[in-house]
Amino acid sequence: MQENIMNAFTEQTKNFSEPLAKFNSLLVDSMEKMTEFQLNAIKSYASINIGQIKKVADVKDAESLRTFSSSQTEVAATVNKKIMEDAKQISEMANDFKGKVESIWAESRPTAGKTAEKKTAKTV
């Protein structure tokens, strides 16, 4: 009897820890992807800003001011496009994460249910 209890405990522990390990691994992978995404975004936006600062520094007269001013709509369009692309990429990462969490949950539910049923059947 004691052996049956230990075996049931071991099985339940395994069934409980496997989904948690998968979930933890998924969290680490997602954090790595998000960190890489953020670093690339910072680099990209910083590059745009530095380019703008250099262009402002080159303004010396009315003609260069006019050239700079007319280029701002293009820069705004570039930034807007970058923001939209980044939002889409974040959305895709979130949907991917959600799908993987749901998959882990779906895999673990039948196992947990079977273990509970076995335990109930043995004790009754």
CA dist 60 to 8, 49, 50, 56, Å? 80, 19, 18, 9
Amino acid, single-letter form, for residue 100 = K
Give the per-residue pLDDT at 12. 73
Per-residue pLDDT for the chain (124 aa), expressed as one digit of tens each?
677 777 777 777 777 788 889 999 999 999 999 999 999 999 999 999 999 999 999 999 999 999 999 999 999 999 999 999 999 999 999 999 999 999 998 988 775 555 555 554 555 5
State whether residue 58 is helix, strand or coil.
Answer: coil
State whether residue 16 is helix, strand or coil.
Answer: helix
The Cα–Cα gap between 43 and 31 comes to: 18
Give the per-residue pLDDT at 58. 93
Give the per-residue pLDDT at 88. 98
Give the per-residue pLDDT at 101. 94
Structure pTM? 0.71
* Tokens encoding 10: 């071991």
The Cα–Cα gap between 48 and 55 comes to: 11
The Cα–Cα gap between 31 and 90 comes to: 12
The full set of domain ranges for the chain reads 2-115
